[in-house]
Amino acid sequence: MAVVYVARSAALTKWASDVGQGKHIYKLGIAVDDDAVNAAVAAGWGGETDWKLIQSKQVDESDEEEALARLARREKAIDPTYYPRLKGAAGVFRITLTNVQNSMLVAKAMTADEPLTDVKVKPKDIADYMIRNATA
């Protein structure tokens, strides 16, 4: 079984904000197991080593390109060839908070127990949203 994971770097987020990409930048990837995920996050991407694992989930499929293409239908992938700092780090996405909030509101509306109130998006919620859209 493969592991799909979402990671975030504070330093890369600051850089992305400076170049006009916004401050909600996350990396989605698929690895063979949890040890491979931890090794990849420790190695880092984009010249940064302060990456933190936000969330991971066991999945049956292990095709990273297909998962990235599925997520790219909803969110904007940052092109690593256009930004030399990323140097081939595929799977770095600029997340729109409105999309995440709408997804959370629809999920709340589907459950009759919870009232519809404004939702405050946390990094874990963004990671859930990314994993759900990459694996669906």
| Nearest Cα residue to 27 out of 75, 72, 90 | 90
pLDDT tens figures, 9-44: 999 999 999 988 999 999 999 999 999 999 999 998
What is the reported pLDDT for 68? 94
Beta bridge partners of 56: 5
What is the reported pLDDT for 50? 92
What is the reported pLDDT for 80? 87
What is the reported pLDDT for 115? 73
pLDDT band at 47 (very low <50, low <70, confident <90, very high): confident
pLDDT tens figures, 72-114: 999 999 988 888 888 878 899 999 999 999 999 888 888 877 7
56/34 Cα distance (integer angstroms) = 8
